[in-house]
Structure 1
């Protein structure tokens, strides 16, 4: 199981409370752009009952062609796949079952959970799949988008574990691996590995432009890789970094401190991280908040639901 010292392999123990086995609930997706459309398409292709809604008629038509039932009436697990500024109002005008579990795909968790919990209480489970591309909109839908992706899923003190498991099962059904986190831990982590990289990509692109046409004409693979994410919608990037301003500023300060190191030391340190072994050790973790969070904090993820456990992995020799 997992504890404060980290996960350890186990096959005995009891869940924190009984978790009944029930048929998989339907899924309703609000927002049928790249993430929401891909999720709905993947679930529909797998035979899951899935409905959806989008304010854009073209997005609705595209989803319907992939087997998604278009409706304003949502039940089961309701997924908000809309831009961050629209999260608080995404369900306005829609009919949501009063027992539905509400989750989201937003790239920032603390402010989103604050807004949604005020409206839906303990029915909310915050989520963030770590996938997507610089493209956007329903034309960027890809049913395989989540395959092998990490899907951060928030376990707050008030999170109802059966609801968390229902959302986890949705993520697992489309090929993702679930990383249990708290909202604050998530926001600190993604500031370092997602939000700051967007700012660095913007800075790199702007600095190269300042260097003149010759520099841009000579730009090749490393420049392309370093600036790829700046093909994203600027409004999306701005909302993301401003919505997570505190952790992003702290992570950016750490990058600045690294750049102040002697360059040979910096290159050596970065190379060591990039070359770090990537082995995995399989573990079974009981259905307990502390144990699940310990798995996530150890850098692990869940890849399968068992009766009274989840099966996953942590970094280390297999």
Structure 2
């Protein structure tokens, strides 16, 4: 059954962790006119956020966003004064473990999230209010997720300029293993193999090597926590890559080129849709490769790939 949700004034947003992702989200929401508050254990990050219009405080409510590393997620709210009625979401790159820790503690108040954005840079100096513009933002809709809270978290993502992809935590982790976590491992392997080939190889490295190894410039602790936190799906996705490498090379090159070319042309093949505020309908949108672009009173607007 569809569940109409009345339009209400946008609640404040509290961001815990004001590094690249949290700082960028806070800056984007300030630019969108939202009431943004935030906290970080680093005084320099707090000062930088305050200079961008964020109210720095330990008192948070409305929608509280956890923008901290995965190992710190479970204790991210310790020492903070958080409204017990607040909706809590996160930006973590793995969802099942976070759902098992933060989600277990907060129940239906928690909405797992993961914006597919970021660079190999980190820290508050890497803040960019346009970081999420046009990015896909996975937002978990579990059987126990309270739909009005999911919509509040979705509004935060939309106000930051992102497109929302409804998923379950398990679906998310399987998908990002293939398109994010394995690429980090492949980048590491490519860089290590080139390094063992000697200084001449590295001296001749150009665009393809740079593009293929860019993501492994990220903080090694971050990458390790990400792939180990999603070990099962990542191992399965890596096995699929290894199986692909066993194909005849012309066949492999042709197949990969076809997938990449189709992805590059996705913007020309979108069909606009309206989806009721219903868990099954929203998840069907995400599973079809679509996304939500606008929230209205009794439904959302979005798109699915044409055909």
> Scaled by the length of structure 1, what TM-score is found?
0.94
Does 2:2 match 1:16? yes
1:114 CA drift (Å): 0.9
CA contact (8 A) 2:4 2:297 kept: no
Q: 1:62 aligns with which of 24, 48, 61?
A: 48
Higher RCO structure, 1 or 2 (CA under 8 Å, sep 6+) = 1
Q: Distance in 1 between matches of 2:301 and 2:75?
A: 36
Given candidates 290, 294, 303, the residue that maps to 2:280 is 290
- The match for 1:314 is 304
Q: CA deviation at 1:174?
A: 1.1
What is the SS of the residue equivalent to 1:204?
A: helix
Superposed CA deviations along residues 112-140 of structure 1, whole A, max 9, x for unmatched, are: 01101222111000000000000000000
Written as runs of structure 1 = structure 2, the 5 A alignment for 1:216-295 is 216-276=202-262, 277-278=265-266, 279-295=269-285
Describe how 1:158-173 pairs up with structure 2 within 5 A.
158-173=144-159
Please list every run of at least 4 consecutive aligned residues from structure 1 whose deviation after the TM superposition is greater than 3 angstroms. Answer: none
* 1:219-271 alpha-carbon deviations (Å, 9 max, x no partner): 00000000001110000000000000000000000000000111011001001
Matched residues in 2 for 1:285 and 1:121: separation? 25
2:11 maps to 25
- Cα distance in 2, alignment partners of residues 99 and 20 from structure 1: 18
Kindly indicate whether residue 123 of structure 2 is the aligned counterpart of residue 137 of structure 1: yes
Q: Counterparts of 1:48 and 1:280 in 2: how far apart (Å)? A: 30
Unmatched tracts of structure 2, length 5 or more: none
Q: How many pairs align?
A: 303
Q: CA deviation at 1:20?
A: 2.1
Q: Deviations over 1:161-202 (max 9, x none)?
A: 000000000100011000000000000000000000000000
Name the counterpart of 2:30: 44
Using the alignment, how far apart are the partners of 1:46 and 1:163 within structure 2? 20
Q: Secondary structure at the match of 2:226?
A: helix
2:137 maps to: 151
What's the RMSD between the two structures over aligned residues? 0.8
1:71 aligned onto 2:57:
yes
User: 2 CA distance for matches of 1:280 and 1:235?
Assistant: 38
Output the TM-score relative to the length of structure 2.
Answer: 0.98
SS in 2 for 1:136: coil
The corresponding residue for 2:70 is 84
SS at match of 1:296: helix
Q: Offset of 1:275 from its aligned partner?
A: 1.6
How far, CA to CA, are the matches of 1:63 and 1:16 in structure 2?
A: 39
Q: 2:179 aligns with which of 193, 202, 211?
A: 193
| Correspondence 1:209 to 2:199 | no
SS of 1:275's partner is: helix
In 2, distance between residues paired with 1:128 and 1:145? 13
Report what 2:89 is aligned to: 103
